[in-house]
Structure 1
Amino acid sequence: MALRDSPSSCPALWRWLRCPPAELRLDLVLASGQSFRWRQSSPGAWTGVLAERVWTLRQERGRLWYTVYGEDGPGPETDRILRDYFQLDVRLPALYRAWGAADPLFCRTAAAFPGVRVLRQDPAECLLTFICTSNNHVARITAMIERLCRAFGRRLCSLDQRPFHAFPSLAALAGSDAEAKLRALGFGYRARFVSGAAKAIAEGMGTAGLCRLRDAPYAEARRALCALPGVGDKVADCVCLMALDKAEAVPVDTHVWRIARQRYGAALGARSLTARVYQEIGDFFRELWGPYAGWAQAVLFCADLRKGRDGGSRARRGRSQASRGAGCS
């Protein structure tokens, strides 16, 4: 089956783009809380939904291999979709060098985390997804988005008896019974915001107007997003950075606030992440890292997230070993 085949053994089913690890590390980017629609389907292989297609991606010898499930299969159009999604026209090693020259702390962290780049996502999907991230963690958000897509999205295909669905349309999430269905799916208070934002966009700027924010100045795009239900500064900056081409947007959550305080001494006197402190931290990093500050932040966020996971795994192993030791005594 295609999920288990290596690219070299199935040349007719797979295409590739030249992409060395310094430009992209799938294992870092797809598990770093930017998108929640990818899972590691086998060692080194990632399967997920992009542009209403189901894909499997893997890297091998400086190439990004991929296959697409469906009648059309991979081709020049899917090359374009993938290049756009990973923004492969942005030369990442040059940015790493510039950030490292401006910031020795970044240089020390980034050495172990090459190839972390920012995805260019569908604006509506990105917005409605990140409304679900408030007071949440990656594993739970991933499960919520899976339930959302299964309940409201169009079924695309099934692999190993696992169904894959497209992200729901605005119309589906703006329906009169959408909020109640979302609450039944475990979305809690977020149900009102997801349904409300979908309805506000559908009845207001529309998906076309949301996409046109890519051409608007950063401050204008941010203001427009913050006018939507459930959208505050952090969600707006996530969407600006990951869907609206605002590379200077720096989403500040508890991870980034801790990094700013502990490693850079920024906003040390602040006891809470107020709107003023949020702006201060974003401005600090924009001045330090320049016009692609949001991309640099993504590297440090990924490193902090991975360190937290590794630390949690070590703690769980330690507790398990202690438990086994206690049982043997």
Structure 2
Amino acid sequence: MSWWQFPCRKTQLWLDVTLSCGQSFRWRQDAGSGEWRSCLPGSLCVWRLKQTVDAVLYKLESPSEKESILLEESARQTLFDYFNFDVDLESLYTEWQRADRNFAEQSARLKGVRMLRQDPTETLFSFICSSNNNIERISGMVEKLCVTYGEYILEFDGRQYYTFPVPHVLAAEGVEDKLRKLGFGYRAKYIHQTAKVLASKPDGWLDELRKAPYREAHAELLTLPGVGAKVADCICLMSLDKMDAIPVDTHMWQIAARDYKLKVTNKSLTTKVYNEIGDHFRKLFGQYAGWAHSVLFSADFKKFQSIQVERNKIESNVHVEDSPVHQEEVEANLVTSKSAAAKRKRII
């Protein structure tokens, strides 16, 4: 099966940053090819992505070649939805740079940090794992969840791939004890208890929160075991379409105090302090404040601080001409995103 592609500048999406900045924990970058690989809900296949200066290339690996070809018909739609391609990120960067000098300085070297639109169930359990944790360990825990309780898909390039487990499987007896033995610690209890709550809810309850106002959705999430304000905001921002949700942890608290001179008298991140920081960034950056927050959060990572980006000169190991799909074929096959909000500007 050939690589397919769609036009996309790195200033609209930079895969290497977006897929490794702590939004999603299932993507792995192959050291040899540089391509990114993962599984997405709704398809029993492995997604392979790589990027050029002005395009994203993708390929599907599935148990049968015939199924891969059939999946191609809906693959673009899936990627458009997953990467929120109905949002013009370049325009947002311009707005934020005009509104805030610090953002202008930080974003100058870190273009293309785009928010993902992930599956709410996967996002919920992934961020329960994030409590007092780092990206590497969270990724390891999420992988263990999939290997232990997910459905086997296939083996590709020496690695086995699984679906993310469904709540009723995680709600079964013995799950908590098993997860503790696997190194989840106290998070095992929260995963098991939350799974039982979800299993008792009407089908689609979590997904329906996409339609609820931000404050309502946030409050509903706080009723789940192991979900505090920050985790609830991560779920809201990264899977429930709440673009102004601001996840605040001690790292973001430090950024607020250091770069924005927010005078916080409390010595701990209380509810009052949490809301003050979120409200400050919402007032500063507007409707997509959560996206701007993610850029600032990522820019403060040590692994990204040495990155220097020039708009039209970004090194790449892959070239568009290497793809068997010609540009006119790509344009002819682009699928209009039915889920796009009418008020947002399409960028692809």
Q: Which band: TM-score by shorter chain?
A: 0.7 to 0.9
Matched residue SS, 1:271: coil
Partner of 2:314: none
Partner of 1:246: 242
Alignment map for 1:173-252 (pairs within 5 Å): 173-206=170-203, 208-252=204-248
Q: Residue type matched to 1:259 in 2?
A: I
Partner of 1:40: 29
Closer/same/farther in 2, CA of residues 38 and 227 from structure 1, 3 Å limit: same
Partner of 2:327: none
How far apart are the structure 2 equivalents of 1:308 and 1:239?
24
Alignment map for 1:86-165 (pairs within 5 Å): 86-165=83-162
Question: Do 1:149 and 1:166's aligned partners in 2 also have CA atoms closer than 8 Å?
Answer: yes
Partner of 1:269: 265
Alignment deviations for residues 35-60 of structure 1 (CA, whole Å, 9 cap, x no partner): 00011113431111112431110011
Matched residue SS, 1:50: coil
User: Aligned-pair distance for 1:224?
Assistant: 0.3
Q: Residue type matched to 2:47 in 1?
A: W
User: Aligned-pair distance for 1:310?
Assistant: 6.4
User: Aligned-pair distance for 1:193?
Assistant: 0.3
User: Aligned-pair distance for 1:89?
Assistant: 1.1
Question: Do 2:299 and 2:305's aligned partners in 1 also have CA atoms closer than 8 Å?
Answer: no
How far apart are the structure 1 equivalents of 2:304 and 2:189?
31
Partner of 1:315: none
How far apart are the structure 2 equivalents of 1:188 and 1:301?
27
Partner of 1:85: 82
Is residue 17 of structure 2 the alignment partner of residue 28 of structure 1?
yes
When normalised by structure 2's length, the TM-score is 0.83
Closer/same/farther in 2, CA of residues 309 and 22 from structure 1, 3 Å limit: closer
User: Aligned-pair distance for 1:76?
Assistant: 2.6
Q: Give the count of matched residue pairs.
A: 299
Alignment deviations for residues 27-86 of structure 1 (CA, whole Å, 9 cap, x no partner): 000000000001111343111111243111001141110001113225130110111000
Question: Do 1:123 and 1:210's aligned partners in 2 also have CA atoms closer than 8 Å?
Answer: yes
Closer/same/farther in 2, CA of residues 232 and 16 from structure 1, 3 Å limit: same
Question: Do 2:7 and 2:55's aligned partners in 1 also have CA atoms closer than 8 Å?
Answer: yes
Is residue 7 of structure 2 the alignment partner of residue 18 of structure 1?
yes
Is residue 252 of structure 2 the alignment partner of residue 260 of structure 1?
no
Alignment deviations for residues 77-125 of structure 1 (CA, whole Å, 9 cap, x no partner): 0110111000011000000011111101101100101000100000011
When normalised by structure 1's length, the TM-score is 0.88
Question: Do 1:267 and 1:277's aligned partners in 2 also have CA atoms closer than 8 Å?
Answer: no
How far apart are the structure 1 equivalents of 2:205 and 2:161?
28
Matched residue SS, 2:238: helix
How far apart are the structure 2 equivalents of 1:309 and 1:128?
29
Give the structure with the larger helix fraction: 1
Partner of 1:59: 51
Matched residue SS, 1:277: helix
How far apart are the structure 2 equivalents of 1:262 and 1:115?
24
How far apart are the structure 1 equivalents of 2:53 and 2:102?
30
Question: Do 1:154 and 1:165's aligned partners in 2 also have CA atoms closer than 8 Å?
Answer: yes
Where does structure 1 differ by over 6 angstroms across 4 or more consecutive aligned residues? 308-311
List gaps (5 residues or longer) in structure 2: 308-348
How far apart are the structure 2 equivalents of 1:17 and 1:205?
38
Partner of 2:338: none
Identity %: 46
List gaps (5 residues or longer) in structure 1: 1-11, 312-329
Question: Do 1:102 and 1:288's aligned partners in 2 also have CA atoms closer than 8 Å?
Answer: yes
Q: Residue type matched to 1:247 in 2?
A: M
Question: Do 1:44 and 1:59's aligned partners in 2 also have CA atoms closer than 8 Å?
Answer: no
User: Aligned-pair distance for 1:154?
Assistant: 0.4
Question: Do 1:267 and 1:280's aligned partners in 2 also have CA atoms closer than 8 Å?
Answer: no
Q: Residue type matched to 2:78 in 1?
A: I
Tell me which of the two structures has the higher relative contact order, counting C-alpha pairs closer than 8 angstroms and 6 or more residues apart: 2
**RMSD value over aligned CA atoms?**
1.5
